[in-house]
């Protein structure tokens, strides 16, 4: 049985062959200059080569930078410069954007696919056939392994520094927390993106450590997804709420063989109790496991199959601490009191790349990570996420920073002021919605504003929640946008329609 599977051509790679290829790739990348502390940027959808490159890079003590492949060339370039990228790995369909991003940067680009005259992934494997001595990585506690970019509520996406120790800690803690969550006899579908901490660490790295089989999907599509579950007898599903919602409402779900699925884990966003119950009934599951984490701390909280509470994301992983803090006074709160969730543990990032000010805002002097999420901890240690202090919009698991869209809108000649919030959506989670103040005497339509944003942003940032025109944007005396007022108004309006 193959350890790693490409379901599109049904190629299977044994664990032994995978190790040999990863070692060859590591030596080839090293010959091209990817040494300890240097960075490989991977601009690619999920595929076997992407996964191999992640492992090979970390194995030589180098750093993986995995931006969202939907990023525009300007954002790719900004991240590559920030990360000191020395090599780029991509696929033919993204080559034009990548070449635009690396123009004048003198960074070699490696192509995954048939040889076409460019530096190819197969060429790098060939380079690694010789005898090359690779020094072991330095102290795992300080050796940077991965840079995953996370949007904040202000400014551009920031590089989250994940060390080898962070990854190792999470893998060990999750195994100790629930030894049955993954075993070497399991098969998983790796369908979540490898540029996200959920796909790269929680799935890829953990599955490697546990020795289970991985079927790697390059993108999510419902029919292939359901087909592959039956074909490869998938036993564990790691999903996000939009996929679960889609499965519950999918009209032909009963026609697919899902009988092999034993455990389903949901993360990246809250899942409603009603949806959870409908999903478990359709898949004949006793319970669904929910987890909670951030790019900045991977997973810190997760439930167990036989130890769940409706609406709860579970209990803390071993060696992980939490407290609830009053966001106004900074005072620690007690059981069943609502406040901001603070976390502390060895799976936690050391900070944001080359951004000490943002790091200080994230991690305080005592080492507590401020999640920006409002939570409650009950008397049995179960944690419930009830709200979000952060103003980040989550569209189908993708992070959308309102400030980035607002800055873009303010660049439109017909727009005097703007505010963006997330509009609740049962499938996507939230849809970006804009409130716009037109320039005096200038006419602009909703479609014009939506088309302007669509032309200048990736798909997940488009204004699917619509555009509403206003005389003014509510602000505090200091000039801070009061998004809460617009969210409350929208919530009441949506309730009145029910």
Whether 401 shows a pLDDT value over 90: the answer reads no
What are the residues whose beta carbons fall under 8 Å from the beta carbon of 158, sequence distance 6 or more? 149, 150, 151, 152, 352, 353, 355, 358
What are the residues whose beta carbons fall under 8 Å from the beta carbon of 71, sequence distance 6 or more? 43, 79, 458
Strand 85-90 and strand 213-216: the pairing is: unpaired
Whether 478 shows a pLDDT value over 50: the answer reads no
Q: Following CA atoms 243, 245, 302, 400 in sequence, which dihedral angle do they give, to the nearest 10 degrees?
A: 70
Q: Tokens in use for 297? A: 């701390």
pLDDT per residue over 462-474, tens digit each? Answer: 999 999 999 998 8
Element (H, E) at 80: helix 73-83
Strand 158-163 and strand 187-190: the pairing is: unpaired
3.40.50.300, 1.10.10.10, 3.30.300.30, 3.40.50.450: CATH of 393-496: 3.30.300.30
The sign of the torsion formed by the CA atoms of 387, 388, 392, 396 equals: negative
Q: In the structure, what pLDDT confidence band is assigned to residue 310 with cuts at 50, 70 and 90?
A: confident
Looking at residue 151, its pLDDT comes to 61
Distance from C-alpha of 353 to C-alpha of 104, rounded to nearest angstrom: 23
Nearest to 311 by CA among 275, 272, 281, 284: 272
Q: Is 310 or 293 the better-scoring residue by pLDDT?
A: 293
Find the mean pLDDT for residues 39-53.
97
- The one-character DSSP state at 75 is H
pLDDT per residue over 256-298, tens digit each? Answer: 999 999 999 988 777 777 778 889 999 998 878 888 888 999 8
Average pLDDT, the chain: 89
Q: Tokens in use for 222? A: 């419902």
Q: Among 143-152, 229-238, 335-344, 418-427, whose mean pLDDT is lowest? A: 143-152
What are the residues whose beta carbons fall under 8 Å from the beta carbon of 361, sequence distance 6 or more? 370
Q: Which CATH superfamily is domain 187-388 in?
A: ANL, N-terminal domain (3.40.50.12780)
Distance from C-alpha of 411 to C-alpha of 417, rounded to nearest angstrom: 10
Distance from C-alpha of 150 to C-alpha of 66, rounded to nearest angstrom: 11
Looking at residue 386, its pLDDT comes to 79
Angle at 73 between CA 396 and CA 402, to 5 degrees: 45
Q: Among 113-117, 137-141, 239-243, whose mean pLDDT is lowest? A: 137-141
Element (H, E) at 447: helix 446-456
Element (H, E) at 491: helix 483-496
Find the mean pLDDT for residues 212-225.
94
Strand partners, 342: 323, 370
Nearest to 96 by CA among 67, 125, 76: 76
Within this chain, domains 3-138 and 187-388 share the same CATH topology: yes
Unique residue bearing structure tokens 């008397």: 379
Nearest to 91 by CA among 126, 41, 26, 43: 43
- In 159-259, which residue ranges form alpha helices assigned H by DSSP? 164-177, 197, 206-210, 222-231, 241-249
Whether 391 shows a pLDDT value over 90: the answer reads no
CATH code of the domain made up of 3-138: 3.40.50.980
- Stated length of the chain: 498
Unique residue bearing structure tokens 């900045």: 296
Q: Phi/psi at 127 (nearest 5 deg)?
A: -60, -30
Query: How many Cβ atoms are within 10 Å of 403's Cβ, its own excluded?
Result: 17
Distance from C-alpha of 30 to C-alpha of 26, rounded to nearest angstrom: 6
Q: Tokens in use for 266? A: 């949901």
Whether 155 shows a pLDDT value over 70: the answer reads no
Q: In the structure, what pLDDT confidence band is assigned to residue 302 with cuts at 50, 70 and 90?
A: confident
Whether 162 shows a pLDDT value over 60: the answer reads yes
Q: Is 302 or 458 the better-scoring residue by pLDDT?
A: 458
Nearest to 167 by CA among 393, 346, 413: 346
What are the residues whose beta carbons fall under 8 Å from the beta carbon of 486, sequence distance 6 or more? 419, 421, 435, 474
Secondary structure class of 203 (helix, strand, coil): helix
Whether 1 shows a pLDDT value over 70: the answer reads no
> Domain coordinates of the chain in residue numbers?
3-138, 187-388, 393-496
Looking at residue 260, its pLDDT comes to 96
- The answer for 442, left when phi > 0, alpha when psi is -120 to 50, beta otherwise, is beta
Whether 154 shows a pLDDT value over 60: the answer reads no
Looking at residue 103, its pLDDT comes to 94
Whether 494 shows a pLDDT value over 90: the answer reads no
């Amino acid at each position: 049985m193959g350890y790693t599977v490409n379901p599109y051509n049904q190629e299977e790679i044994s664990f032994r062959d995978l190790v040999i290829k990863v070692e060859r790739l590591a030596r080839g990348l090293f010959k091209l200059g990817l040494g300890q502390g240097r960075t490989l940027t991977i601009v690619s959808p999920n595929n076997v080569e992407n996964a191999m490159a992640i492992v090979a890079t970390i194995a030589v003590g180098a750093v993986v930078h995995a931006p969202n492949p939907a990023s525009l060339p300007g954002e790719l370039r900004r991240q590559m410069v920030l990360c000191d990228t020395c090599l780029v790995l991509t696929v033919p369909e993204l080559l034009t954007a990548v070449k635009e991003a690396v123009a004048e940067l003198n960074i070699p680009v490696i192509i995954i696919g048939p040889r076409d005259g460019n530096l190819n992934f197969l060429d790098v494997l060939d380079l690694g056939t010789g005898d090359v001595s690779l020094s072991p990585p330095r102290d795992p506690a300080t050796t940077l392994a991965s840079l995953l970019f996370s949007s904040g509520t202000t400014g551009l996406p920031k590089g989250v520094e994940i060390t080898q120790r962070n990854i190792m800690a999470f893998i060990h803690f999750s195994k100790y927390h629930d030894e049955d969550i993954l075993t070497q006899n399991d098969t998983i579908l790796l369908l979540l993106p490898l540029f996200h901490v959920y796909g790269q660490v929680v799935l890829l790295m953990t599955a490697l450590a546990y020795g289970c089989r991985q079927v790697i999907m390059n993108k999510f599509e419902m029919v292939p997804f359901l087909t592959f579950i039956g074909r490869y007898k998938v036993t564990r599903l790691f999903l996000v709420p939009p996929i679960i919602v889609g499965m519950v409402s999918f009209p032909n779900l009963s026609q697919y063989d899902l009988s092999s699925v034993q455990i389903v884990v949901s993360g990246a966003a809250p899942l409603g109790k009603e949806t959870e119950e409908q999903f478990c009934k359709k898949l004949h599951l006793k319970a669904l496991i929910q987890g909670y984490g951030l790019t900045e701390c991977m997973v810190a909280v997760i439930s167990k199959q036989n130890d769940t509470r409706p609406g709860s994301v579970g209990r803390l992983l071993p060696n992980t601490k939490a407290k609830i803090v009053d966001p106004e006074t900074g005072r620690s709160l007690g059981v069943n009191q609502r406040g901001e969730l603070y976390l502390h543990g060895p799976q936690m990032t050391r900070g944001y790349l080359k951004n000490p000010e943002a790091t200080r805002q994230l991690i305080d002097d005592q080492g507590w990570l401020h999640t920006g999420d409002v939570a409650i901890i009950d008397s049995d240690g179960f944690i419930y996420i009830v709200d979000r202090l952060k103003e980040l919009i989550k569209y189908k698991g993708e992070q959308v920073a309102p400030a980035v869209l607002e800055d873009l809108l303010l660049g439109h000649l017909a727009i005097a002021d703007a505010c963006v919030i997330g509009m609740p959506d049962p499938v996507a989670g939230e849809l970006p919605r804009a409130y716009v103040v037109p320039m005096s005497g200038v006419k602009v339509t909703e479609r014009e504003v939506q088309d302007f944003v669509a032309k200048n942003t990736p798909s997940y940032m488009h204004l699917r929640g619509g555009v509403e025109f206003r005389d003014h944007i509510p602000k505090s005396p200091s000039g801070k946008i009061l998004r809460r007022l617009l969210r409350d108004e929208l919530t009441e309006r949506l309730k009145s329609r029910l």
